[in-house]
Chain A
Amino acid sequence: MTDVQPKIAFRHVSKIFGDGPKAFTALRDLTLDIADGEIVTVVGPSGCGKSTAMNIVAGLTSVSTGECLVDNTSVKGPGPDRGVIFQQYALFPWLTVIKNVEFGLRLQGIAREERRERAMHYLELVGLKEFAQAYPKTLSGGMKQRCAIARAYAVNPSVLLMDEPFGALDALTRVKLQDQLLDTWSKDKRTIMFITHDVDEAVYIAHRVVVLAAKPGRLQEIIDVDLPFPRNEEVRLSPEFTEIRNKVWRAVYDRSAEAA
Chain B
Amino acid sequence: MIVSNEVAVAEPSRDCVAHLSRVLWSVLSFVTGIGLWWLATFSGLSVLPSPWTVLMRMIELAVSGQLWLDMFASLRRVLIGFILGSLLAVPVGFLMGWYRIARLVIDPWVQFFRVIPPLAIIPLAIVTLGIDEKPKIFVIFLAAFLSSVVSTYQGVVSVDRTFINAARVLGATDRVIFAQVIIPASTPFILVGFRIGLGSAWATVVAAELIAAQSGLGFRMQQAQLYYDLPTIFVSLIAIGILGLIMDRIVVRAEERLTHWQERVRHD
Interface residues, chain A, with chain B CB atoms under 8 Å away? 58-60, 78-80, 82-84, 86, 88, 90-95, 103-104, 107-108, 124-128, 130-131, 134-140, 142-143, 151, 155, 176, 180
B169 in complex: contacting residue of A60, A88, A92, A131, CB < 8 Å: A60
For B7, what are the chain A residues with a Cβ–Cβ distance below 8 Å?
131, 134, 138-139
Q: How many Å lie between the Cα of A97 and that of B175 in the bound state?
A: 23
Is B207 part of the contact surface with A, judged by Cβ < 8 Å?
Answer: no
For B187, what are the chain A residues with a Cβ–Cβ distance below 8 Å?
94
The answer to whether B169 and A82 have CB atoms under 8 Å apart is yes
Interface residues, chain B, with chain A CB atoms under 8 Å away? 1-4, 6-8, 160, 162-163, 165-172, 176, 180-181, 184-185, 187, 259-263
For B181, what are the chain A residues with a Cβ–Cβ distance below 8 Å?
92
Q: How far is the CB of B180 from chain A (nearest CB, A)?
A: 8
The answer to whether A84 and B6 have CB atoms under 8 Å apart is no
Q: How many Å lie between the Cα of A126 and that of B2 in the bound state?
A: 8
Can you list 19 A-B contacts with CB-CB less than 8 angstroms, sorted by A residue number? A58-B169, A60-B169, A83-B169, A84-B166, A86-B162, A90-B162, A92-B181, A92-B184, A92-B185, A93-B262, A103-B167, A103-B180, A107-B171, A127-B1, A127-B2, A136-B261, A138-B7, A139-B6, A140-B4
For B160, what are the chain A residues with a Cβ–Cβ distance below 8 Å?
88, 90
A143 in complex: contacting residue of B4, B162, B261, CB < 8 Å: B4
Q: How many Å lie between the Cα of A83 and that of B165 in the bound state?
A: 11
Question: Which 7 A-B residue pairings sit nearest by Cβ, starting from the closest?
Answer: A127-B1, A104-B170, A90-B166, A140-B6, A80-B171, A90-B162, A94-B184
Q: How far is the CB of B258 from chain A (nearest CB, A)?
A: 9
Q: How many Å lie between the Cα of A174 and that of B168 in the bound state?
A: 27
For B6, what are the chain A residues with a Cβ–Cβ distance below 8 Å?
139-140, 143
For A176, what are the chain B residues with a Cβ–Cβ distance below 8 Å?
2
For A104, what are the chain B residues with a Cβ–Cβ distance below 8 Å?
170-171
The answer to whether A108 and B1 have CB atoms under 8 Å apart is no
* 6 more A-B residue pairs beyond the given contacts A60-B165, A94-B259, with a C-beta to C-beta distance below 8 A: A59-B169, A79-B171, A103-B167, A127-B1, A128-B3, A139-B7
User: Chain B: interface secondary structure?
Assistant: loop
The answer to whether B3 and A127 have CB atoms under 8 Å apart is yes
For B3, what are the chain A residues with a Cβ–Cβ distance below 8 Å?
127-128, 130
The answer to whether B163 and A92 have CB atoms under 8 Å apart is yes
Q: How many Å lie between the Cα of A93 and that of B261 in the bound state?
A: 6
Q: How far is the CB of A157 from chain B (nearest CB, A)?
A: 9
The answer to whether B163 and A90 have CB atoms under 8 Å apart is yes
Q: How far is the CB of B137 from chain A (nearest CB, A)?
A: 34
Q: How far is the CB of B6 from chain A (nearest CB, A)?
A: 4
For A136, what are the chain B residues with a Cβ–Cβ distance below 8 Å?
261
Contacts A94-B185, A138-B8 given; does A60 touch B168 at CB 8 Å: yes
Q: How far is the CB of B9 from chain A (nearest CB, A)?
A: 10
Q: How many Å lie between the Cα of A103 and that of B187 in the bound state?
A: 19
Contacts A92-B166, A126-B1 given; does A107 touch B263 at CB 8 Å: no
Q: How many Å lie between the Cα of A90 and that of B168 in the bound state?
A: 12
The answer to whether A142 and B166 have CB atoms under 8 Å apart is no
For B4, what are the chain A residues with a Cβ–Cβ distance below 8 Å?
140, 142-143
Q: What residue of chain A has the Cβ atom nearest to residue B6's Cβ?
A: A140
Contacts A94-B184, A127-B1, A135-B261 given; does A78 touch B168 at CB 8 Å: yes
The answer to whether A86 and B170 have CB atoms under 8 Å apart is no
Q: How far is the CB of B44 from chain A (nearest CB, A)?
A: 57
For A134, what are the chain B residues with a Cβ–Cβ distance below 8 Å?
7
The answer to whether A78 and B262 have CB atoms under 8 Å apart is no
The answer to whether B1 and A180 have CB atoms under 8 Å apart is yes
Q: How far is the CB of B92 from chain A (nearest CB, A)?
A: 23
Contacts A79-B171, A126-B1, A137-B261 given; does A86 touch B166 at CB 8 Å: yes
Q: How far is the CB of A257 from chain B (nearest CB, A)?
A: 32
Q: How far is the CB of B264 from chain A (nearest CB, A)?
A: 9
Q: What residue of chain B has the Cβ atom nearest to residue A100's Cβ?
A: B166
For A86, what are the chain B residues with a Cβ–Cβ distance below 8 Å?
162, 165-166
For B1, what are the chain A residues with a Cβ–Cβ distance below 8 Å?
124-127, 180
Q: How far is the CB of B89 from chain A (nearest CB, A)?
A: 21
Q: What residue of chain B has the Cβ atom nearest to residue A81's Cβ?
A: B171
Q: How many Å lie between the Cα of A136 and that of B6 in the bound state?
A: 12
Q: How many Å lie between the Cα of A99 and that of B185 in the bound state?
A: 15
The answer to whether A90 and B165 have CB atoms under 8 Å apart is yes
Contacts A140-B4, A142-B4 given; does A88 touch B162 at CB 8 Å: yes
The answer to whether A103 and B261 have CB atoms under 8 Å apart is no
Contacts A126-B1, A127-B2, A176-B2 given; does A137 touch B169 at CB 8 Å: no
For A151, what are the chain B residues with a Cβ–Cβ distance below 8 Å?
170
Q: What residue of chain A has the Cβ atom nearest to residue B173's Cβ?
A: A107
